[in-house]
Amino acid sequence: MDVVDTPEEAGELELPPLVVREPLERFLDGHGIGSGRVEAERIGDGHSNITFLVRRGDARVVLRRPPRPPLPPSAHDVLREARLLRALESTPVRVPRVLAVGDDEGVLGVPFYVMEEVRGHVPAASLPEATTASDPDPARTRRDRGVEGFVDLLAAGPDALGRFHARAAALVRPHVGTWRSTWEAGPLAATEATGAQLDALERGDDTHLRSSSVHALPPPPNERRWGCCGTLGTYLPAV
């Protein structure tokens, strides 16, 4: 069950609910968001974080929260999402306005935030995986929205893009250590291994070739798919 009325009802369930009405109503009261009973409807197909359309009186807002615990460290960080959205509010970037942030886990059992409902283009909905070159309109719409947003950002003045980059860098700085570890274990390690193999070939040492393998890839489908930069002919690794 995703939505219950009281914490007592939540405590009787084997799995914690995603929305508990009474504490959420008190939270919304404290931020002046609607009045009366909360009606919450899950929207979207995402699983990394969960999104609800919340109706309360005349108010329609969107609530974002992590999935049910346990959660891996630093994953599903909706508070980071909220900080990013708020940092972008004063720029021309098209983002919803964050109305309230719930960092007290006594409300829903996890952090969450509430933002305004904004209707617009949803790339995942209008550009499904099956979209092919014979149906270019969704891909062109995604392209156009990206270009229009960038133009709006530049229209704010010559320093707007620089401020945007500065805020983005400040937000991700705490995660650079994790990213560096991933890079060192992946691309950097592969590059160093390639360098060692080139050194070996220069010495006339072909030992590493004896441990190589060959992979067969079937040709891509005849009908090409749309990607960010045009049509794609995607190869899938053979099993």
Domains of the chain are: 3-119 (3.30.200.20), 125-201 (no CATH)
Residue 15 confidence (pLDDT) above 80:
yes
pLDDT category, 135, cuts 50, 70, 90?
Answer: low
> What is the value of pTM for the model shown?
0.59
Residue 54 confidence (pLDDT) above 70:
yes
The tens digit of pLDDT for each residue in 68-89 reads 877 665 556 888 889 888 888 8
Of 94, 59, 60, 96, residue with least CA distance to 81? 96
pLDDT category, 170, cuts 50, 70, 90?
Answer: confident
Residue 13 confidence (pLDDT) above 60:
yes
Q: How many CB atoms lie under 10 A from the CB of residue 156?
A: 15
- Please name the residues in contact with 108: beta carbons below 8 A apart, sequence gap of 6 or more: 18, 19, 20, 23, 24, 65, 102
Average pLDDT over the chain reads: 82
The tens digit of pLDDT for each residue in 104-132 reads 888 998 999 999 998 765 554 444 454 55
C-alpha to C-alpha distances, 145 to 76, 150, 155, 178, nearest whole angstrom = 26, 9, 15, 32
Per-residue model confidence (pLDDT) at position 64: 94
- Half-sphere exposure in the Cβ direction for 235 (13 Å, CA): 7
